[in-house]
Structure 1
């Protein structure tokens, strides 16, 4: 029957026909299945009949129209689906039926919820397809909407509650992600520095209220790679010969206490801060935080509390990546250990003089033997 154009089966099939039923009937134009269980219907049944123009699947226990999306029925003009069990209709299904001009969905148990909002809007606004008696379609679900008309459902509330909310949420998420990425890449260290300054401010305010005396004469800020020089050269002179009370992080920090609190307590609990500068020191994150805190105290209190001691000859241009240290070196004189190799006694005398000075800032006091 290669020339078959009309096929009608009413109350004959007990289940959906096999997918190859119409494999030789490519000229078929009208197909009617009525009073048949098509709940398991697949799109493959329609692939051999692309010229189909009229399809009637009434009283066929259909629950969904998704099979039409892959059926390739581009020539279909008439579609009757009355008295089935269709609750929700995906409006995109009809986009695969470009020639459809007549649609009958009467006597289906429609759901009056946002899941049908797109179909309701399509049924109202499309000008090509006539949805027969659409204004009489009655809602069956939910119970609160039972008996009301499908086209009377307020679809605007669905878009206001959903689409706008998702749009605003997505926009906010994108903006926050961009801000977080920008902050992490460009402002991370500024925020860390601001946080440390805030901690220092709180500590300073608390200390002024309590009137606490200084526990140490100087806090020594140094890198672990320079620890041997500190214990071998500095401690014997400053603690052993000159009698200063020094605070060293490996020796005097309180165990179990957060490191940043130990640093803050050490700097504000000492009259001075001695920074032992080397290339390892400049590359150390914790040493950077220590000199940040000491710098804040210097500029905030306007006191001569910072002593810079260079263990290595570091040209000024090499300090460019370390803008805070470069700024301090430009504004304050400092002591250079390499230049004092021939006169270590004079070097330690200058350190002693720096430790003996009072609160007034005196940037000329730290001049080394070569006048630097």
Structure 2
């Protein structure tokens, strides 16, 4: 195995095995050609080609790969990567970066023919990358593309495909932005309307909660209250309340009243004082 130069193990249904294992446990420093075609491979062990210092050709055609799952970063001598007749729709960002770095220091060529690429907004960056690196791809003008409606396959030049995608995706982005803004505005209006409609109830709940946690008040479980009654009145009724009601109730009836001018705590918010007064009187 250490002196092996060419390895052809095509058409052996090794897909399940090679997904988690290497085809050899020994280093293959002299290996230049590997043929793994027709093996129903859906993914390869990440380090399957580690130690292949002279590898020039990898044939992975006629499998069911959807992306490159193995590490390519150390394949500095690789010249041909045959991925034709697979299920590749696009490469991941990491794979694109790895191939771009390899291409700078090698004469790498990739065959992606007979893969049904997805021409959609999701794969736009992959299409743009292919256009920028078109010299890497063997027979790129014959590549087919499955459009977003899944109904039309095209063999248009790559540049025309990318321009069409950029146009459609720009419109799609604007539409999504408009819908998102509309939903956001609707939510704000709805929340604002509900808040305004139940504003007094919300204020009451707020002050009740604030009173519970911000101020010490004894727990009145025995039914005793600080005041017998809380009297709320407007300035127009002040003379009647002060001159008649308070003297009659406090002096004649011996009731203890809560009067805001007299019994509210100085410096406390008016709504907080009212809330406390309501819960500290009997009537």
Q: TM-score of the superposition, structure 2-length normalised?
A: 0.56
Give the direction of change, closer, same or farther, for the CA distance of 1:228–1:108 in structure 2 (3 Å limit).
closer
Q: Which has the larger radius of gyration?
A: 1
Give the direction of change, closer, same or farther, for the CA distance of 1:14–1:163 in structure 2 (3 Å limit).
farther
Root-mean-square deviation over aligned CA pairs:
4.8
Instruction: Give the alignment of 1:270-309 within 5 angstroms.
Output: 274-278=261-265, 282=268, 286-287=272-273
- 1:228 is aligned to 226
Aligned match for 1:89, one of 91, 95, 107 = 91
Contact 1:81 1:106 in 2 (8 A): yes
Q: Deviations over 1:324-358 (max 9, x none)?
A: xxxxxxxxxxxxxxxxxxxxxxxxxxxxxxxxxxx
State the distance in 1 between where 2:94 and 2:75 align.
14
Contact 1:15 1:37 in 2 (8 A): yes
- 2:82 is aligned to 80
Contact 1:90 1:116 in 2 (8 A): no
State the distance in 1 between where 2:58 and 2:165 align.
30
- 2:165 is aligned to 155
- 2:221 is aligned to none
- 1:41 is aligned to 44
Give the direction of change, closer, same or farther, for the CA distance of 1:103–1:4 in structure 2 (3 Å limit).
same
Instruction: Give the alignment of 1:149-188 within 5 angstroms.
Output: 149=156, 151=158, 152-153=160-161, 154-156=164-166, 157-158=168-169, 161-162=172-173, 165=176
State the distance in 1 between where 2:175 and 2:112 align.
31
State the distance in 1 between where 2:271 and 2:246 align.
28
- 2:222 is aligned to none
Contact 1:109 1:139 in 2 (8 A): yes
Higher relative contact order (CA 8 A, sep 6+): 2
Pair 1:136-2:142 in alignment: yes
State the distance in 2 between where 1:99 and 1:167 align.
41
Q: TM-score of the superposition, structure 1-length normalised?
A: 0.45
Q: Give SS of 2:263's match.
A: strand
State the distance in 1 between where 2:274 and 2:249 align.
28
Q: How many residues align?
A: 217
Contact 1:23 1:48 in 2 (8 A): no
Instruction: Give the alignment of 1:1-372 within 5 angstroms.
Output: 1-11=1-11, 13-16=12-15, 18=18, 19-27=21-29, 28-49=31-52, 52-59=55-62, 61-68=63-70, 70=71, 72-75=73-76, 76-97=78-99, 98-100=101-103, 101-126=108-133, 130-140=136-146, 142-149=149-156, 151=158, 152-153=160-161, 154-156=164-166, 157-158=168-169, 161-162=172-173, 165=176, 228=226, 238-240=247-249, 274-278=261-265, 282=268, 286-287=272-273
Q: Give SS of 2:34's match.
A: strand
Contact 1:85 1:109 in 2 (8 A): yes
| Structure 1 residue 121 displacement after superposition | 0.4
Q: Deviations over 1:286-333 (max 9, x none)?
A: 316799xxxxxxxxxxxxxxxxxxxxxxxxxxxxxxxxxxxxxxxxxx
User: Runs of 5+ in structure 2 lacking a partner?
Assistant: 188-194, 204-215, 219-224, 230-241, 278-283
Give the direction of change, closer, same or farther, for the CA distance of 1:166–1:64 in structure 2 (3 Å limit).
farther
State the distance in 2 between where 1:74 and 1:49 align.
7
Contact 2:22 2:45 in 1 (8 A): no
User: Runs of 5+ in structure 1 lacking a partner?
Assistant: 177-190, 200-222, 250-271, 292-372
Q: Deviations over 1:85-106 (max 9, x none)?
A: 3233334313223214311111
